[in-house]
Amino acid sequence: MNAAGLACRALTFERSTGGRLLDGIEAAFPCGRACLITGATGAGKSTLLHLLAGLLGPTSGEVWADGQPVSRWSAPHRERWRQMVGIVFQHLHLLNDVTLLENVLLPCVPRPERWPAVLGEARQLLERLGLGALEEVTPARLSGGERQRAALARALIGQPRFLLLDEPSAFQDDGRIEGVLGLLEEATGQGGCVVVCSHDPRLAAADLFQSRYRLAHGRLERCP
Ligand SMILES: Nc1ncnc2c1ncn2[C@@H]1O[C@H](COP(=O)(O)OP(=O)(O)O)[C@@H](O)[C@H]1O
Ligand SMILES: [Mg+2]
C-alpha cells in the first residue's frame, strides 16, 4: 500500500451513543486529485473527514497516508504528521480574539523558522480571497462568508500535502465559488490530495473533481 495520498481500509466508526456511523469504508484519495464526497446531513461526512485528519480514532480499520498506517500511530507521532494536513472545519473554529492574518498563520506557529516566508503567502491568500483589507480585523466582525474564506486561507497556508474541506462553500455567494475552486485546482496541480465534503450543487457541477463518492448508510459508494 504505497500509493501517494490518503486511503481508508475497513474504516469503521461507532457513535459513543451506539450504532455504526461508518461501516467498513474502503476508499483511496490519491495525491494530485480532488475528490468530492456528498451525502445527506447526518450521513457521517464530517466524522469521516475528522478520521482522515487524525482528529478522531476509528473504532476499527485504518487510515493510511502515503502508504503509512497513520491512524495506528501514537498521538505524538500523528501530531507531527498532521502538520501536512490543512483542514476547513464545518464550523470553522477560527480564534475570535486574534486578527484574520494571525488566524491564517496559526498552523505555522510551531515552526517559527517559516514565518518570514509564510507571512507573504498568508497576505497573498487573503488578497485572493477578497480579504486583503481585513487582515487586521477579528473574525467576530466579519460575515459568515468572510470567516469561511479566512478558514480556507488557514487550511491552504504552507501548501499542505493533504487538504480536507468540510462544506467549504456553504456561506459563499455564487461570485466567490470560482475563486475557491481555482485555489483547490492549484493545490491538486501542485500534487496535493484534496478531499471535499459538500452537498452544494455548485461544487457538484465543478470539473475539478475527478472522483465523486456518496456516503450513505455508513458506506462510501463511488459515483459514475
Ligand atoms: N462521537 C460521536 N458520538 C455520538 N454521535 C456522533 C459522534 N460523532 C458523530 N455523531 C453523530 O453522527 C451523525 C453524523 O454526524 P456528521 O459526521 O456530522 O454527519 P454529516 O457531516 O454528514 O452531517 C450525527 O447524528 C452526529 O450527531
Ligand atoms: Mg458535516
Record the cell numbers describing residue 113, joined without a space: 523558522
Q: Is the CB of 45 under 6 A from ligand 1?
A: yes
What is the per-residue pLDDT for 48? Answer: 98
Identify whether 147 is part of a domain. yes
Q: Is the CB of 44 under 6 A from ligand 1?
A: yes
pTM: 0.94
The boundaries of the domain holding residue 37 are 30-53+83-222
- 9 touches 62 (CB < 8 A): yes
How confident is the model over 3-26, as pLDDT tens digits?
899 999 999 999 989 899 999 999
CATH code (residue 129): 3.40.50.300
Identify whether 68 is part of a domain. no
Identify whether 10 is part of a domain. no
Determine the distance separating the centroid of ligand 2 and the alpha carbon of 2, expressed in angstroms: 29
How confident is the model over 159-209, as pLDDT tens digits?
999 999 999 999 999 999 999 999 999 999 999 999 999 989 999 999 999
Identify whether 64 is part of a domain. no
What are the start-end ranges of the H helices in the chain? 45-52, 75-81, 100-105, 115-128, 144-156, 174-189, 201-204
Identify whether 17 is part of a domain. no
Determine the distance separating the centroid of ligand 2 and the alpha carbon of 25, expressed in angstroms: 17
Q: How many domains does the chain have?
A: 1
Angle, CA of 163, 218 and 215, to the nearest 5°: 50
Record the cell numbers describing residue 91, joined without a space: 464550523
Identify whether 3 is part of a domain. no
Identify whether 169 is part of a domain. yes
Identify whether 113 is part of a domain. yes
Smallest-distance ligand from the CA of 58: 1
Q: Is the CB of 74 under 6 A from ligand 1?
A: no
Mean of all residue pLDDT scores within the chain: 94
